[in-house]
């Protein structure tokens, strides 16, 4: 009489057992992923209301550093509100003349919009220029790499909206920092043609004239 093989040793049982374990493992992985995803996302209502109130309180107490850290943390965790938070961070950083943080926030914004958001690019070029001026004033250093980046970002913004007076003026300012005076002059004049009341463009032209008069 043939001895039957134990059920747990049959091929069918082994296949069923393997499939069962695979299903259980998949369920565990999915559960862990969902847990991490939910835990690492701040609720929208908290971001839009209570969270911002707490940040405003910190700013009223002149605790900019902690406020900036809180906005940065929220931007890292809350993807649905990330753009809004990064804009808030950039705006707050500019108010406190923290141009390094403003530049970093705007760069993240630009990357999220595939470098096609005109307002973000224009704000970024302006922030880069302010960063250059700040380093000259505080560190007595001319950061050529930042100037080069400012020219590239300003040019990209001007290409997106060639009829924007602000974009042409920003590009002119960046070119002037790079020592490209003639090119800067042409874009300053273009900006004034588009908006005769644009004060920075007229100031830029006057600065170029002063530089030329100072030459021997």
Structural domain boundaries of the chain? 10-40, 113-216
Q: Which fold has domain 113-216?
A: 1.25.40
C-alpha dihedral (99, 105, 109, 114), degrees to nearest 10: 80
pLDDT exceeds cutoff 80 at 14: no
B/e letters for 64-95, b = 16+ CB within 10 Å, e = fewer, are: beebbebbbebbeebeebbbebbbbbbebbbe
Q: State the average pLDDT over residues 141-156.
A: 94
pLDDT exceeds cutoff 70 at 164: yes
pLDDT exceeds cutoff 60 at 115: no
- Look at residues 206, 113, 70 and name the one whose alpha carbon lies nearest to residue 198: 206
pLDDT exceeds cutoff 80 at 21: no
Q: State the average pLDDT over residues 25-40.
A: 51
- pLDDT value of position 177: 95
pLDDT exceeds cutoff 50 at 107: yes
Q: State the average pLDDT over residues 142-154.
A: 95
d(CA 75, CA 42): 10
Q: What mean pLDDT is reported for the chain?
A: 82
- Look at residues 166, 153, 164, 154 and name the one whose alpha carbon lies nearest to residue 199: 166
pLDDT exceeds cutoff 90 at 111: no
What is the Cβ-side half-sphere exposure of residue 147, based on CA atoms within 13 angstroms? 18
Neighbours of 201 (CB within 10 A): 26
Give the 3-state DSSP-derived string for 59-109, with helices as H, strands as E and coil as C: HHCCCHHHHHHHHHHHHHHCHHHHHHHHHHHHHHHHHCCCHHHHHHHHHHH
d(CA 32, CA 88): 32
Q: State the average pLDDT over residues 34-54.
A: 52
pLDDT exceeds cutoff 80 at 110: yes
pLDDT exceeds cutoff 50 at 1: no
**Helix H or strand E encompassing 192:** helix 181-194
pLDDT exceeds cutoff 60 at 15: yes
Q: Looking at the whole model, is its pTM more than 0.85?
A: no
pLDDT exceeds cutoff 50 at 99: yes
pLDDT exceeds cutoff 50 at 40: no
- Look at residues 16, 6, 76, 93 and name the one whose alpha carbon lies nearest to residue 40: 76
- pLDDT value of position 66: 87
Four-residue CA torsion sign, 73, 98, 133, 194: positive
Which of 3-12, 13-22, 92-101 is predicted with the least confidence, judged by mean pLDDT?
A: 3-12
Which of 76-80, 97-101, 138-142, 169-173 is predicted with the least confidence, judged by mean pLDDT?
A: 76-80
* Helix pair angle (144-160, 165-177), 10° resolution: 160
Identify whether the C-beta of residue 73 lies closer than 8 Å to the C-beta of residue 46.
no
């Amino acid at each position: 009489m043939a001895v039957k093989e134990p059920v747990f040793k049959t091929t069918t049982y082994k296949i069923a057992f393997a499939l069962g374990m695979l299903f259980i493992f998949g369920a565990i992985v999915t559960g862990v992923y969902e847990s991490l995803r939910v835990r690492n996302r701040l609720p929208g209502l908290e971001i839009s209301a209570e969270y911002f109130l707490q940040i405003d309180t910190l700013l009223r107490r002149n605790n900019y550093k902690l406020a900036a850290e809180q906005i940065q943390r929220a931007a890292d965790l809350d993807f649905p509100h990330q753009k809004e938070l990064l804009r808030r961070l950039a705006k707050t950083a500019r108010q406190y003349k923290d141009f390094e943080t403003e530049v970093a926030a705007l760069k993240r914004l630009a990357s999220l919009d595939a470098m096609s958001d005109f307002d973000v690019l224009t704000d970024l070029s302006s922030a880069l220029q302010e960063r250059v001026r700040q380093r000259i004033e505080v560190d007595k250093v001319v950061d050529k790499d930042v100037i080069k980046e400012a020219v590239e970002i300003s040019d990209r913004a001007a290409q997106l909206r060639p009829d924007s007076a602000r974009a042409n003026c920003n590009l002119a300012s960046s070119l002037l920092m790079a020592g490209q005076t003639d090119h800067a002059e042409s874009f300053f004049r273009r900006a004034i043609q588009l908006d005769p009341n644009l004060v920075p463009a007229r100031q830029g032209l006057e600065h170029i004239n002063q530089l030329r008069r100072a030459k021997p």
